[in-house]
Chain A
């Protein structure tokens, strides 16, 4: 009998604890900004058949002091990468022409 009372008391205490606000999860929040600035770079057209190819970009002419040859480039998916100090080369295919695009970051 005493054990039964004890069990009931424990059950009641547990129920009260669950019902108590102290048993409920409480939350607080703070916000912060993730500010993102994207620089698009310039897409440049590469002049073919030149030992020092001249590249025309959105913001002006860029001259590269190195010969770009297709066999020096490494195919990576649908683009070329790996030569020089610039960010990326890629092949652009259109029905009329194929040419290299050079993407330069600034």
Chain B
């Protein structure tokens, strides 16, 4: 009888030890990469508004301005330009309809993106004392091809 009891006790102890061993957590690890490819961009988040210049022959200078907003990826450099020929952000045009000359000047020609919209301006100036060409009391360039100007962002 005593032998039987001892055998049972031994068996229980063995089972307990075995259960203890299987309850110990075993960690297995594996690594993986999070590969990120990023494309930086610029957008003209607020398009330039139209400019209206009203001028009287031989009169005073006419001025106007247009605002626009650019949003670029943080740290991305970009440049701004207008169509036509110009230097340092100042562009000279002669309107074919009225034969009036004017200049457009960018407030800045290059910048670096911040991730938020930054606003810039285009100043317009029509010099004083011009004659212009018009056979009637008033003319305008509505609908003329060269009334439309283009702002370009390069990045």
Residue ranges of A at the interface with B (Cβ–Cβ < 8 Å): 22, 25-42, 58-59, 87-88, 103, 105-106
Contact = CB atoms under 8 A, between A and B. Distances in A.
A81 B142 CA distance: 32
Interface residues of B, number: 49
B20 interface: no
Given A28-B44, A30-B68, A36 B97 contact: yes
Contact of A25 (B39, B136, B155): B155
Q: Is the interface of A mostly helix, strand, loop or mixed?
A: strand
A105 B56 contact: yes
A33 B51 contact: yes
8 contacts: A30-B48, A32-B47, A35-B142, A37-B138, A38-B100, A39-B138, A40-B136, A41-B56
Contacts of B47: 30, 32
Contacts of B147: 33-36
B132 A40 contact: yes
B139 A34 contact: no
A28 B69 CA distance: 13
